[in-house]
Amino acid sequence: MKNKFYKKKFSPKKFEKENRFQPAEQMTIGEILSNPQLDRAIVDGIIEKIAQTKGPTIFVIADGTRSLSLKGFQKPGERAYPEINEGDSVRAVVEIGEFKGETEGEIKKITILSDEEKKLMQKRIDDEIIKRAKVDEIPFLVESPILNKLRILFIKAAREIKLAVLQHRPIIVRHHNDTDGYSAGYALERAILPLIEKEQSSDKAGWEFFQRAPCSAPFYEIDDSIRDTAISLRNVAKFSNKMPLVIIADNGSSPEDLLAIKQGKVHGMEFIVIDHHYSSEDVITAEVLTHINPFLVGEDGAKFSAGMLCTELARLINLVPNIEQIPAMAGLSDRIEIANPKIIEDYLNIAKKEGYSKELLMDISTVINFVSSKIRFMEAREYMEVIFGEPREQQKKLVGLMAPYIRRLEEKGLTIAKANASSEKIGEVTLQSLDIENTFGFGFYPKPGMCVGMIHDDLQKTKNIDKLVSVGIMSTALTMRATNGANFSVHDFITLLNKKLPEAFVEGGGHKNAGSITFVPNKKEEVIQMLKNFIKSR
């Protein structure tokens, strides 16, 4: 029989297991995530989300510095700590570990904070979020009085976007379905996604909390608004998400956008608009968090495109590589050099330093316009990343392959359009007309607006016409281009139609010399006649 003073053999493994953890220290989640060697910690925060798996219960906790997934386990598939609910302020003792490459905590003890402790913690969280949402007022890429006038609005928009990320609020970017719109949306995507992934300590968070989607109409229409709202409400019910912040780029400033924005607001969505299209009245600013548009500060939106504006905004949100060439490409695609050649030259010089020539940017723009006509409403995030240069080598291969093919399609389209266009003189102005639907089949590329733009440019070059209006005619729409010498105005034409032909229910917009309208089908001939009368009266 062994003596009671008999000492058991020392076991290093057992000693290490029993003494692995030091007394837990109170830490922020940010401190926990920056200390990969940490074993145990005490953390205070708000339970933002609870998810039951087939194994443990997952509690997502946030404290203003970051967020962290905590695992609680009773039995497989059984709800752990049923007294803890979403929105509760808690204190948890956790063992720090890793699962699928992401840091997480295993709950050893968790309690709900008292009202007084909750109040103090909430103030700490609010103060921390406000501090982290501060925007560094870096210089713009180029010097411009237009940008300087908009600086306060840029700062406000960047702060609201950073706040949405820090508050774990989903973000939806809606943009027009062309090169300028995609440039605007992609620049914002590049800046926002890394912030979401870092904030939530997950590479997958970018899929749950960020979406970028094109709009086919030149405004944020009610159809898109209802789709965005329905999906967001489902995610609130299914995943306990918050209602999103919606950023509308290269659209959003017109009265046609108002209903869709108001519809979303009814359900708790909030909006930011970055646009450069003119509107005769500003009905949007009062309905959104921030509205950035040159016309709001007395400037011409034809001097800055949405892609240019959104890239400058993206840099205020988050300085990331491979976006500084975007303003030159977006501006060239939207003909900004006509109204503002100096700014395009400045942006082109920046793009050249990044390895992008004017020719390459035009080729990339060509591919974007073509691809956008094929993917339509799809987000196609990874595909668009390649086109924009992630990675650069793959971008060169894709653009080198696709651009010559698309150029041939454009040449074919121009040849067909020229053969079917008709011209007539109205006073000193030449009106060039193209019946789109009887000239091209469904799904034909180039798109109607591009076809009209090509024959418009071609007639100026080949016939040296400086007073020209070109119009593409469809059963319910017109798309128009005009030279400065024609003394045309899309906005004045729309005003006249609504006054003289209200039964046509005309809607539309754009810039002074480029835009489109829609109308009811049986008023097509009257609308065309009104166009001729309008040109004659000018």
Would 2 be classed as within a structural domain?
no
Is there a contact between 434 and 451 (Cβ–Cβ < 8 Å)? yes
Q: According to the model, what pLDDT value does residue 442 have?
A: 80
Give yes or no: residues 82 and 193 share one domain.
Answer: no
Give yes or no: residues 492 and 447 share one domain.
Answer: yes
Give yes or no: residues 429 and 513 share one domain.
Answer: yes
Among 18-22, 114-118, 319-323, 389-393, which is the least confidently predicted range? 18-22
Full residue range of the structural domain in which residue 460 is found: 421-537
Give yes or no: residues 146 and 55 share one domain.
Answer: no
| Mean pLDDT (whole number) for 106-111 | 96
What CATH number should be reported for the domain holding residue 444?
3.10.310.40
Would 218 be classed as within a structural domain?
yes
Would 178 be classed as within a structural domain?
yes
- Among left, alpha and beta (phi > 0; psi -120 to 50; other), residue 187 is alpha
Give yes or no: residues 67 and 204 share one domain.
Answer: no
pLDDT tier at 22, thresholds 50, 70, 90: low
Would 336 be classed as within a structural domain?
yes
Give yes or no: residues 86 and 22 share one domain.
Answer: yes
Would 412 be classed as within a structural domain?
no
Q: According to the model, what pLDDT value does residue 36 have?
A: 80
Q: What is the pLDDT of residues 185-228, one digit of tens each?
A: 999 999 999 999 999 888 889 999 999 999 988 889 999 999 99
| Mean pLDDT (whole number) for 489-502 | 95
| Mean pLDDT (whole number) for 148-152 | 97
Is there a contact between 306 and 250 (Cβ–Cβ < 8 Å)? yes
Task: Report pTM.
Answer: 0.88
Give yes or no: residues 429 and 351 share one domain.
Answer: no
Q: Is the pLDDT of residue 12 over 50?
A: no
Give yes or no: residues 85 and 231 share one domain.
Answer: no
Give yes or no: residues 365 and 429 share one domain.
Answer: no
Give yes or no: residues 356 and 219 share one domain.
Answer: yes
Q: According to the model, what pLDDT value does residue 2 have?
A: 42
- List b or e across 314-337, with b for residues whose CB sees 16 or more CB atoms inside 10 angstroms: bbbbbebebbbbbbbbbbbbbbbb
Would 407 be classed as within a structural domain?
no
Average pLDDT, the chain: 93
Is there a contact between 41 and 24 (Cβ–Cβ < 8 Å)? yes
Query: C-alpha distances in angstroms, 355 versus 322, 352, 437?
Result: 10, 5, 41
Percent of the chain with pLDDT over 70: 96
What CATH number should be reported for the domain holding residue 109?
2.40.50.140
Structure tokens at 480: 């128009």
Q: Is the pLDDT of residue 377 over 60?
A: yes
Top mean pLDDT of 236-240, 246-250, 253-257 is at 246-250
Structure tokens at 532: 């001729």
pLDDT tier at 496, thresholds 50, 70, 90: very high
| Mean pLDDT (whole number) for 76-87 | 95
Q: Pick the last residue of a domain from 68, 98, 114.
A: 114
Structure tokens at 214: 């094109």
Q: What is the DSSP string of 428-482?
A: TEEEEEEESTTTS-TT-SS-HHHHHHHHHHHHHHHH--SSEEEEEE-SSEEEEEE
Q: According to the model, what pLDDT value does residue 10 have?
A: 42
Q: According to the model, what pLDDT value does residue 6 have?
A: 35
Q: Is the pLDDT of residue 21 over 80?
A: no
Would 459 be classed as within a structural domain?
yes
Q: DSSP label at 529?
A: H
Among 33-42, 184-193, 336-345, 492-501, which is the least confidently predicted range? 33-42
Give yes or no: residues 366 and 258 share one domain.
Answer: yes
Percent of the chain with pLDDT over 90: 86
| Mean pLDDT (whole number) for 14-29 | 65
Q: Pick the last residue of a domain from 370, 401, 432.
A: 401
Q: According to the model, what pLDDT value does residue 518 have?
A: 94
Q: According to the model, what pLDDT value does residue 378 have?
A: 86
Q: According to the model, what pLDDT value does residue 16 have?
A: 44
Q: Is the pLDDT of residue 118 over 90?
A: yes
Would 119 be classed as within a structural domain?
no
| Mean pLDDT (whole number) for 458-464 | 94
Give yes or no: residues 430 and 290 share one domain.
Answer: no
More confident residue, 494 or 15: 494
Instruction: Give the total number of structural domains in the chain.
Output: 3
| Mean pLDDT (whole number) for 266-285 | 96
| Mean pLDDT (whole number) for 9-14 | 46
Whole-angstrom distance, CA of residue 295 vs CA of residue 249? 15
CB within 8 A of 189, min separation 6: which ones? 173, 210, 212, 381
Q: Is the pLDDT of residue 1 over 50?
A: no
Q: According to the model, what pLDDT value does residue 258 have?
A: 96
